[in-house]
Structure 1
Amino acid sequence: MSGNVLRYFAGGNTAKGFSHLYDSNLRGLDRVFILSGKSCLEKKILIQKLMDEWAEKDIKLEALHSPNDPDSLEGLIIRDLGFGIVDGDSPREIGKGFVGDRWETVDLDAMDLSSLGAATKKDIIQHTANRDRALDNAYQSYAEGLRVHDKWEKLYIDRMDFSKADHVSDRLILKLLSKESTRKDRTSIRRFLGAATPKGPVDFVENITSGLNKRFFLKGRAGTGKSTVLKKIVVEAEKRGYDLEIYHCGFDPDSLDMVIVRELGWAVFDSTQPHEYFPSRKGDEVIDMYELAVAPGTDELYANEIAEIERQYREQMKAGKDYLAEAKQINDQLESIYQVHMDHSRIDEIFSDIQKEIKLLAKD
């Protein structure tokens, strides 16, 4: 039942380095396995095997995709069972915010690197350094892209009517949150709406918003207050006691891109590049912050400046993507070395043990 799988990113390659929200998603889970080991591939294989086992069952799953390989998983959560499993190696730092009594680290390393030849050890060290350097270069490119983006925003901020923007926020909040929640225990979970990956920007908007009755598409140029509107919705929804899913920007993690209250059946999200969507079903509604709160003619007034800024921005985004692709290519070379020396039967044993634990949780 693929409709029971919620797909998202809990970590991202951002303009402020690698940023993650894993603890927010794992908090409250009773039984969590934190995977460790040199090979990322082995961890992905284990998590995917568990995913395949439970995907067709009548139970809700959460698939945490890898920003460095978006077709692969780096985590799986079965929230109704209080179960989670996630790649916990650097740079994720899983568990610093909270660790439960039944959280367990599982070391998947089943290879003796001391037995490797000098040339192979040298290759591992060199590949690791080259991969990390490529990732650092990606983060520097995105950081420069953010500085360019700030210039882009300023053009529109200077032409913004903030009283009109506040009016848009107030009217939307009144429409979304007309009453208090009846729930006693409020939870807020933070994730990323999308991620910068070796393939370019990737998101799961259609999956995340599946089943919701109302979707509000925030349109507008950079700096027209979309993230501010979302932050105001979060504050008000928290006051009224609703459970929240808060999705951060995969480029600038300090900004928000989406807010969901599933209890009320709605989502509000930044629907501009690189996650631009248009109304496609009943209940979809566009809110254009440029049209509603920016002085008319701003695009035309700054057409030349905007074109140059956009060129610089796209240049940095492409550089970042290329560096991420380089890092993945190098990491694939590392994996090819590790795979020769792995004891793959150990993965099968660990899978069997964890599968038994999940089945016991399902019986409770």
Structure 2
Amino acid sequence: MNGTITHQFGRAFTGQGEKNIYTDLINEARKVYFIKSPPTFKLSELFRQVGYHYVKRGYDIEWFYDPLHEDTIEATFVRGNRILFIQAAHPISFEPKYYGSTHHVISFYEAYDESKLREHGGFLREKTLHSEQWLAKALETLTNAKKLHDDWEVPYVKGMDWEGFDAQAKTLFDETFTTLKFNKTPNRSHRLMGTLTPQGAKDHFASLTKGVKRRIFIKGYPGGGKSTLMKGFAEKAESVGLDTQWGWCGLDCNSIDYVWLPELQTILFDSTAPHEYEPERSGDEIYDVRKFRDLNEEDQKLVDGIVTRYKEEILHATEYLQVYCTDDETIRETLDACVNNYKWAEIEDDLFRKIDNSSIYK
């Protein structure tokens, strides 16, 4: 029987800069293969083939995608035996800590033709400097958007019926956990719900929840306590010994968009824009906290003005990411043209031999 494939983002462009969960993933893994090379599209196909290699042997895997380039994979994580294959070069850079034991390096640098690199060196430098300027503009604009989102929350926070909110939360906690108690130390993992891309806001909610029996869709307003509720839900789950997965927000690094409890097959999910979904199958339910706050006319007018400016900033950030993406694509394609494909294939074959000859399946 084949394993399953779950699609995820490993990085996000947020109001606090670029965020990734790869450090958490490295810590979660039992064994890590750090795959090093210049910026390239070629590693994506390698990660895809590595994933299929394990899926055909019955392992569940996760693919982590580049937020700039659709269908470009940056890492493959094998869940069952916690093996991670990760691109450890631009635009993410990681160094192994445990040489000779659980961390291994596979380098593709020697597969590049030095004469071709020198031929394109000046162009690549100029294009890289240009791309970095557009990325900086995108991140600066997202910082402005985050500040506006904070302002958006204020009118809702000040008028919330927090007693009613807490009472409803207690009911949810009681019916979910009842008398559960597991005699084990819970594991906490970290993922990203989604991110802003050159095509707009994207997420992998459908892939993440395809096998989840109970999906709880939270409906609320900014500042309405959704993230606080989910953190409390996760902490309660951990207090009774349940494993948790925290899905972090793609705009605010301190906020979460979902909590998944794999042992209960339950996910609590922030189902508001830009990732707004509705129940569509058995086991889906709505958890509505909008009823705990109604805006008066003055506050509504204030919110409407903030929302308009917020959407404008997100639109500008998306446009800047589009320019950055175009530059980055050119850089990768130029470098890929400098590859000695025979040498590249030899290094790939050596990686698969290492996989097959190790105790990786045990």
TM-score, normalised with respect to structure 2: 0.92
Q: Secondary structure at the match of 2:70?
A: strand
Aligned to 1:333: 330
Root-mean-square deviation (Å): 2.2
**C-alpha contact 1:70 1:202 (8 A) present in aligned 2:** no
Tell me: CA distance 1:230–1:155, structure 2 relative to 1, closer, same or farther (3 Å).
same
Q: Does 1:152 align with 2:149?
A: no
Q: Secondary structure at the match of 2:272?
A: coil
Aligned to 1:107: 107
State the AA in 2 paired with 1:346. K
Tell me how far apart the structure 1 counterparts of residues 183 and 13 of structure 2 sit (CA, whole Å): 35
The runs of 5 or more residues in structure 2 that have no matched partner are none
**C-alpha contact 2:39 2:90 (8 A) present in aligned 1:** no
Tell me how far apart the structure 2 counterparts of residues 186 and 252 of structure 1 sit (CA, whole Å): 26
Aligned to 1:306: 303
**C-alpha contact 1:8 1:63 (8 A) present in aligned 2:** yes
Higher mean C-alpha deviation, range 274-283 or range 197-206:
197-206
Tell me how far apart the structure 2 counterparts of residues 9 and 196 of structure 1 sit (CA, whole Å): 11
**C-alpha contact 1:169 1:232 (8 A) present in aligned 2:** no
Write the mapping of 1:177-326 to structure 2, written as runs, cut at 5 A. Answer: 177-182=177-182, 184-291=184-291, 293-294=292-293, 296=294, 298=295, 300-326=297-323
Q: Secondary structure at the match of 2:211?
A: coil
How many Å apart are 1:148 and its aligned residue? 0.6
Tell me: CA distance 1:38–1:90, structure 2 relative to 1, closer, same or farther (3 Å).
closer
How many Å apart are 1:303 and its aligned residue? 3.0
For residues 90-143 of structure 1, give each alpha carbon's deviation from its aligned partner in whole angstroms, at most 9, with x where no partner exists.
4534368x757221222222224466556x322111111111111111111110
Aligned to 1:13: 13
Q: Secondary structure at the match of 2:35?
A: strand
Higher mean C-alpha deviation, range 13-22 or range 345-354:
345-354
TM-score, normalised with respect to structure 1: 0.92
How many residue pairs are counted as aligned between the two chains?
359
Q: Does 1:40 align with 2:29?
A: no
Tell me how far apart the structure 2 counterparts of residues 327 and 113 of structure 1 sit (CA, whole Å): 26
How many Å apart are 1:210 and its aligned residue? 1.6
The runs of 5 or more residues in structure 1 that have no matched partner are none
**C-alpha contact 2:65 2:74 (8 A) present in aligned 1:** yes
**C-alpha contact 1:192 1:249 (8 A) present in aligned 2:** yes
- Percent sequence identity is 24
Q: Secondary structure at the match of 2:268?
A: strand
Tell me how far apart the structure 1 counterparts of residues 28 and 287 of structure 2 sit (CA, whole Å): 35
Tell me how far apart the structure 2 counterparts of residues 127 and 2 of structure 1 sit (CA, whole Å): 43
Higher mean C-alpha deviation, range 129-138 or range 143-152:
129-138
State the AA in 2 paired with 1:335. R
Aligned to 2:25: 25
State the AA in 2 paired with 1:344. N
How many Å apart are 1:83 and its aligned residue? 1.6
